[in-house]
Amino acid sequence: MNKTVVNSWNEWDPLRHVIVGRADNCHIPPEEPALDAKVPEDSDMRGQWGKRPQETIDRANELLDTFAAQLQARGIRVDRPVPIDHSQPVTTPDFHTGSQFGCMPPRDVLLTVGPEILEATMSYRCRWFEYLNYRPLLQRYWEEDPNFRHEAAPKPRLTDADYHPDYLSEKIGVEKRLKWAEEKHFVTTEEEPLFDAADVLRFGRDLVVQHGFTTNLKGIEWLRRHFPDHRVHAVNFPGDPYPIHIDATFTPLRPGLILNNPQRRLPKDQRGMFEKNGWEIVDAAQPAHNAPPPLCYSSVWLSMNVLVLDPKTVCVEKSEVYQAEQMDKLGMEVVEVELRDAYAFGGGLHCCTADVYREGGCEDYFP
């Protein structure tokens, strides 16, 4: 066999093959440093852990299955992971935690860059083994595609030295969190390289990486050394008191156009590469909801966590009417997808997918 299965260099070229996550047996993990730092202080999730209610798992799976079928109906190949038993504890020589997280969302774990799929280090203990959910697929791509590069970043130790103890207090307050974010003081330390794949956006030759709770500067440096033919840019979005993952903050739609969360604007001194090359950064529309659904880690800004199918077509969550309206005005055809009841499992339409194949090659958009 001699066909290319894995190839994806950016967030917008025509999508042909994608992984969609599964909600089976997902857990709310026990307390641990980096995860706790992300749970909003007034959240209904504080202090409880265990398997998620079965009816919410069934509902999320129904929505994910329907989304997968919608993509298939458009001619896109869709693969699904094979869930491991997330109720099992994780024990290494360095730490122990009582359960895992789930096989949602794949975008957090798998970073596709051209012919390579890279398993991220991850930064939560409960997600240490999450890559195993995707190994059956990656093994298959390995058999099918002689040029596929299956890579894994060094597994981190995740001892207490990886986390700043001042983030462990129950009540920090949003004001102090915003100040810390401004000062780039995040929950993770610089003990060892850490990154989640969802902190990385792919723009052909350039990778844009958010420095925050789930990705530290050493993680960004690791990516720089691992992808020597790319330019790797660290970015920050100071308005976010819980900065994890870039994909509800900064959303490229096509060459030259990016949506930016108006509460988390990219600072002026980090806009140079976009401005010099005539890229437009526009404020995203307001979310349709005032609060996230129950037992959800993410903010209401999953409204802008869209999946671009090609430079003229975008999947938007069905209830996010303002976001859909804005897409329409920006000249995009909108595909409505119902997913809100699956948000609690780790995110929206971009999160719950991972690219395998998009048409096109590695372009230089910022010469």
- Which residues of this chain interact with ligand DAV, rule CB under 6 A? 198, 244-245, 247-248, 298-299, 301, 347, 351
| Shortest reach from residue 277's CB to ligand DAV, in Å | 26
Exactly one of 24, 351, 352, 355 is catalytic; which is it? 351
Cis peptide bond N-terminal to 105, omega within 30: yes
* 160 catalytic residue (yes or no): no
| Shortest reach from residue 64's CB to ligand DAV, in Å | 15
| Shortest reach from residue 58's CB to ligand DAV, in Å | 22
d(CA 141, CA 150): 9
Among 209, 167, 160, smallest CA distance to 186 is for: 167
Asked whether 27 and 53 are in contact (CB, 8 A), the reply is: no
Cis peptide bond N-terminal to 255, omega within 30: no
- N-term to C-term CA, the chain: 36
* 351 catalytic residue (yes or no): yes
Q: Which is nearer to ligand DAV, 5 or 337 (CB)?
A: 337
What is the bridge-based pairing of β-strands 257-260 and 280-283? parallel
What distances in angstroms separate CA 211 from CA 175, 276, 363, one per listed residue? 19, 23, 24
| Shortest reach from residue 301's CB to ligand DAV, in Å | 4
69 CB-near residues (< 8 Å, 6+ apart)? none
Q: Which is nearer to ligand DAV, 36 or 247 (CB)?
A: 247
Helix (H) or strand (E) segment spanning residue 70: helix 54-73
Q: Which is nearer to ligand DAV, 10 or 261 (CB)?
A: 261
Q: Where are the beta strands (DSSP E) in 15-130?
A: 15-20, 27-28, 50-51, 77-79, 90-91, 96-97, 110-113, 116-119
Angle at 328 between CA 322 and CA 332, to 5 degrees: 130
Which 3 state secondary structure label does DSSP give 67?
Answer: helix
| Shortest reach from residue 5's CB to ligand DAV, in Å | 25
| Shortest reach from residue 215's CB to ligand DAV, in Å | 12
Q: Please, which residues bridge with residue 78 across strands? A: 18
What is the bridge-based pairing of β-strands 231-235 and 307-310? unpaired
Q: Which is nearer to ligand DAV, 61 or 299 (CB)?
A: 299
If one counts every other C-beta atom within 10 angstroms of the C-beta of residue 98, the result is: 18
Exactly one of 245, 296, 315, 350 is catalytic; which is it? 245
d(CA 239, CA 16): 35
Exactly one of 196, 199, 240, 247 is catalytic; which is it? 196
Report, as residue numbers or ranges, the catalytic residues. 196, 245, 351
